[in-house]
Amino acid sequence: MQTYDLSAPTTRSELNALYAKMRNEPGLCRVEPFGAYAASRYEDILVVQKDAQRFSAEAIAAAAEPSWLGHNPLAHSMLSRDPPRHTQLRALVSRAFGPAGLARLESVVRREAEALAESVVRQREVELVDTFCFLLPRNIIGHLLGLDPSTFPEFKRWVSSINLIASATPEQYEGIRSAVREMKHDMGAVIAERRRKPGEDMVSDLVRAEVEGSRLSDDELMSFLFLLITAGMESTTHLIGNSVIHLARLPEQFEQARADKAHIPRFIEEVLRYEPPIQLNFRMAASDVELSGTKVPAGSLVLALIAAGNLDERVFEQPEQFLPGREKGTQHLTFGQGMHFCLGAQLARMEARFALEALVSRIRELKLRSPEIEWIPNYGLHGPRVLPVELIPA
Ligand code: HEM
């Protein structure tokens, strides 16, 4: 069986070529850096994401809790639970993300997006990741949790620290330990406060949530808040950043977005398919299993290569073309599939839509100040590290 190195490609087209080779292998492939098995075809990815009996999300939790770190609430979140526990936890939290919860957020997201767009357009020459792409999801998560805005600046350090856990070097251990400690302290205080005095925010909803006589314990609430902060911020930052890059590089898309707001959701859906902010998911073989003729021993790490599946020619026509409004355009794998399907998918779409609406309605031109994009150096996540642009006001 062929082994591929996911960290070897230096450009997007090299990476896509690697994915194409992998999809043409008869079964699964082996990949470095993890020595994992990897599913790269759309259909195989669906199986890995949907069949929890064969491909467990539970076993990967250990990676978020190495011995040098100690207890990490994120390792115990619903993301790393299989049914039946996952089903119970999801039932308890999903109401907060239903249509009523989203409707409650809509005006806040719109107002935040407008204010941030106003500020960056006024600056004209500006780095957009830190001033726009990141601030919108950060402020929305902060609002969602009912946190005091004075704690928002800590979010970035917390999330980057948590994202480092799997690859951390000993010099980084103390920084990560203290970020987890601070998060536990601040989230613990929020939970205690909402238990004492519930309000109209999501944490209060979660405190009150009850399904079949069962409620969330403090530990479960804490794990869920860790999950929201880490799952919802960086991914949405990259979605907005990747969207801005496509708007700047494709003037006809920029003009269409300015002329007709209804084009923006179709455009975002194609950015999601073409440039998935999260490139892969992890599972572990629960027993000796077989997929597409490949035997995978129990305990092996299995990757679902979302980004490769989104380019599968068996499902998407001309997959390497960027075609908003394409047939099956919403069937991409970017938000996962099956029981762990992203709980924040509609929120992420809403944030990206309002961000782009607010931006394009204020400018007549969007220029990247450097033709080369500096991507974040992480094969699991995909988005610009910095985005210097010039915004020409309308
Ligand atoms: C463009 C932005 C986003 C992308 C690409 C994304 C992607 C994903 C993916 C691929 C999964 C499934 C992981 C797996 O199966 O192992 C997932 C799960 C999840 N996402 Fe997102 N996400 C985004 C934004 C958000 C936001 C804004 C939130 C909340 C504020 C959120 C909350 C969650 C939660 C709670 C889960 C776990 C669901 C479960 O285990 O049942 N995500 N996301």
Mean pLDDT by 10 residues, the chain (394 residues): 88 92 95 92 98 91 89 95 93 86 92 98 97 97 89 89 89 96 94 92 88 87 94 95 98 97 97 97 96 96 97 96 94 97 96 98 97 89 96 96
Domain that holds residue 163: 3-393
Q: Which residues of 48-65 are buried (b: 16+ CB within 10 A; e: fewer)?
A: bbbebebbbbebbbeebb
What token pair was written down for 10?
Answer: 């230096």
CATH number of the domain to which 221 belongs: 1.10.630.10
The CA–CA distances, whole Å, from 281 to 248, 278, 292, 351 equal 29, 8, 18, 23
Substitution candidate for ligand 1 out of 269, 342, 346, 349 with most atoms within 8 A of CB: 342
Please, are residues 392 and 364 in contact by the beta-carbon 8 Å criterion?
yes
pLDDT at site 368:
98
CB 278 near ligand 1, within 6 Å: yes
DSSP 103-128: HHHHHHHHHHHHHHHHHHHHHSEEEH
CB 235 near ligand 1, within 6 Å: yes
Q: CB-hemisphere CA count at 13 Å for 266?
A: 15
Residue located nearest, by CA, to atom 3 of ligand 1: 235
Report the domain count for the chain.
1
Residue 297: cis peptide before it, omega within 30 degrees of 0:
no
Q: Rounded distance, CA 391 to CA 280, Å?
A: 33
pLDDT at site 167:
82
CB 77 near ligand 1, within 6 Å: no
CB 266 near ligand 1, within 6 Å: no
CB 256 near ligand 1, within 6 Å: no
pLDDT at site 62:
80
